[in-house]
Amino acid sequence: MRAARCEVHGTPDTIVIREVSDPVAGAGEVVVGVEAASVNFPDVLIAADRYQLSVPTPFTAGSEFAGRVLSVGADVGDLAPGDAVMGTALSGAFAERIAVPRSALSPVPAGLDMVHAAAFNVTYRTAYHAVTTFGALEPGNWVVVLGAAGGVGSAAVDIATRLGGRVIAAASTPERAEACRALGAVETIAYDSEDLKQRIKEITGTGAQVVIDPVGGAYSEQALRAIAWGGRFVCVGFAQGDIPRIPLNLVLLKGAIVRGFEIRTLASRLPAAVDKGRAEIECLVAQGMKPLVSEVYSLDEAPLALTRVAERRATGKIVIDISSR
């Protein structure tokens, strides 16, 4: 089969397309014929060996996919060849086939095609729990989403809007912020050219009740300074690269709650929240919710797809259509 291989750790342009042997399903595993895979920011970090978990070379890049079951290993009784599934893995998704544990897969919800299913799980589940489980969104709340044009950000704009929030989409340029209006944002801030704290205060009056932060760096403190009393600041990631150090006097004065979470470990830590979330997310998908996919590339173009994300050019999600050359 063909696969996008990371033979040395480095920038996306070091990734090469190679013929490798087909995976075989071990006990408890499923082999999926991948139809589409989406690029997540951590794929760039894993390729560069800058992620919190290290993957030794050589390996196949890619962590999120959708496709059809080809074969199942011993102990897998509830999936059969042909079933439509979506899943996640640390690596291996940018390939024609992938073998993963059964627990890494879920059915493709009705209403999502393979391209949108491949782009759904990581960003929408992350954004859902950031907005609800950790952000405790209430209808009418002002919600500031940093990195709003990115994968997690665009999903957070979409979900917070659908659940009754008034979303302020914050992104680097006016064009990127404006793109979020299609997902429901009612206000926008271009943080590279506007004063983020000042603008949030102007728009909301008393401050924002919820801040969703997948960006980090200097913008985190500015957003926290514009949070309402009792507001919830949810730390999701550090796409900007710098991990901010927050002055605790801000937390004290604002009675703010600062929470962080990781989708990877959520099921083991808060299983009830994950079950509740699954049901509500299915409901929202049935109502037409789906990720914003702005660019689709072939497997040969996987290095370019990763470069687009690394260079901060993606709006919403970028997908690799595995079947096209």
Ligand X SMILES: NC(=O)c1ccc[n+]([C@@H]2O[C@H](COP(=O)([O-])OP(=O)(O)OC[C@H]3O[C@@H](n4cnc5c(N)ncnc54)[C@H](OP(=O)(O)O)[C@@H]3O)[C@@H](O)[C@H]2O)c1
Rounded distance, CA 101 to CA 71, Å?
12
* Closest to 120 (Cα-Cα) out of 83, 71, 81, 155: 155
Which of 137, 266 has the CB closer to ligand X? 266
Which among 158, 45, 68 is positioned nearest to 114, based on CA atoms?
68
Please report how close the Cβ of residue 222 comes to ligand X at its closest, in angstroms: 13
Q: What percent of the chain is helix, strand and coil (3-state, nearest 5)?
A: 35, 25, 40
CB of 152 to ligand X, least distance (A): 3
Give min distance, CB of 163 to ligand X, in A: 19
Residue 140: phi and psi, rounded to 5, are 90, -15
Output the smallest distance, CB 79 to ligand X, in A. 25
Closest CB to ligand X among residues 67, 150: 150
Residue position matching structure tokens 């470069």: 307
Minimum distance, C-beta of residue 215 to ligand X, in the bound complex (Å): 5
Nearer to ligand X, 175 or 202 (CB): 175
Measured in degrees and rounded to the nearest 5, phi and psi for residue 81 equal: -50, 135
Whole-angstrom distance, CA of residue 56 vs CA of residue 49: 9
Closer residue to ligand X in complex, CB, 207/237: 237
Nearest-CB residue for ligand X: 150
Asked whether 291 and 123 are in contact (CB, 8 A), the reply is yes
Nearest approach in angstroms of CB 266 to ligand X is 8
DSSP annotation string for 211-229: EEESS-THHHHHHHHTEEE
Whole-angstrom distance, CA of residue 165 vs CA of residue 202 = 18
* 258 closest CA partner among 206, 218, 223: 223
Q: Are 146 and 237 in contact (CB under 8 A)?
A: no
The smaller minimum CB distance to ligand X, of residues 39 and 256, is found at 39
CB within 8 A of 130, min separation 6: which ones? 152, 156, 212, 234, 236, 261
Based on CB atoms, which residue is closest to ligand X, 202 or 262?
Answer: 262
Nearest approach in angstroms of CB 132 to ligand X is: 14
Residue recorded with tokens 């090469």: 16
For 172-201, the DSSP string reads SSHHHHHGGGGGT-SEEEETTTS-HHHHHH
Q: Tell me how far, at minimum, the Cβ of 32 lies from ligand X, in Å.
A: 21
Chain positions contacting ligand X, by CB under 6 A = 40-42, 122-123, 126, 147, 149-153, 171-172, 176, 214-215, 236-241, 261-263, 309, 312, 314
For residues 212 and 150, the answer to whether their CB atoms sit within 8 Å is: no
CB nearer to ligand X: give 203 or 305: 305
CA 325, CA 321: separation in Å to the nearest integer?
Answer: 8
Shortest Å distance, C-beta 315 to ligand X: 8
Kindly tell me which of 207 and 214 has the beta carbon lying closer to ligand X. 214
Nearer to ligand X, 239 or 322 (CB): 239
